[in-house]
Amino acid sequence: MSISNKTAIITGAAGGIGSALVKAYLELNYNVVANGRNSANLEAMAVKLGNPERLLLISGDIGKPETSKKLFAKAIERFNKVDVLINNAGIFIAKPIINYTEEDVDTIINTNLKGFFYPSQTAANHMMNNGAGHIINITASIAIQPNAKLPTLLPVLIKGGINQATRALALELSSSNIQVNAIAPGVIDTPLNAIHNAQDRENLAKMSPMGKIGNPQNIVDAAVYLTQSEFVTGTTMIVDGGASTGVW
């Protein structure tokens, strides 16, 4: 097997943004370790991409620390080191605060919070030993500018915290030449947003002053830029068609 000299780990890899990230990094000649909870979805993605030899699939709950350890151990075993971690795994539950259930709270904490913390912790340990690396966190622009028309307290709570944690971790790891950044998407055309018909699309398009919905490639472009940057760390790149700029 031909091994590239760079490797990326991508969580939530079988989703709309995740699979687009996997495809993009393979095209950049990275080895890619793709994680998702559902092995069948990961395998379907791999088939769609032609089962490339530089793609390693590892299923498991990213909210559990043992999954992160396994991801890095397998990546190092097969590809020698990890250069990029993209914390993409996440769920979005939008409802008024009085309607959130205990299950909602536990689910978001396990996936969105622990699914950021444990991989980042494992990546920091590995990348500090290497003296370089990139950690990119996929958050949400609504965590920067909440919208009364879309009550989303739990995502705002966790994703907003990760935006701030990105800054803190960038400071902590900068002396080890590790760059930590976030991307805050607005409404993106993925299955997560359940766009079933023209009316859904029209309603979601109104969530930005540009009057349109983003696509996974918009997020890919931001991630690739951050990965290739040498002097950007501690920032949250907002990709939302202007939705977080104010009121319109």
Contact 192, 204 (CB under 8 A): no
What residues contact residue 188 under an 8 Å CB cut-off, 6+ apart? 16, 17, 213, 214, 215, 216, 218, 219
Strand partners, 33: 9, 56
CB 22 within 8 A of CB 13: yes
User: What confidence tier does 227 reach under pLDDT thresholds 50, 70, 90?
Assistant: very high
pLDDT of residue 201: 77
Residues 72-104 pLDDT 10s: 999 999 999 999 999 999 999 999 999 999 999
Beta carbons within 8 Å of 182's beta carbon, 6+ residues apart: 136, 137, 138, 139, 162, 163, 166, 235, 236, 237
Q: Which helix (H) or strand (E) holds 73?
A: helix 65-79
pLDDT at 248: 79
Q: Choose among 137, 146, 97, 94: nearest CA to 113.
A: 137
Residue 159, phi then psi, degrees to nearest 5: -65, -35
Per-domain residue ranges for the chain? 7-235
Q: Looking at the predicted structure, is the pLDDT value of residue 3 above 60?
A: no
Look up the CATH superfamily of 7-235. NAD(P)-binding Rossmann-like Domain (3.40.50.720)
Longest dimension (CA), the chain: 54
Q: What is the pTM of this model?
A: 0.95
191-220 per-position pLDDT tens digit: 766 666 777 778 888 889 999 999 999 999
Give the end-to-end CA distance of the chain in Å, rounded to a whole number.
53
Asked if residue 4 has pLDDT above 90, the reply is no
* Structure tokens, 53: 């030899």
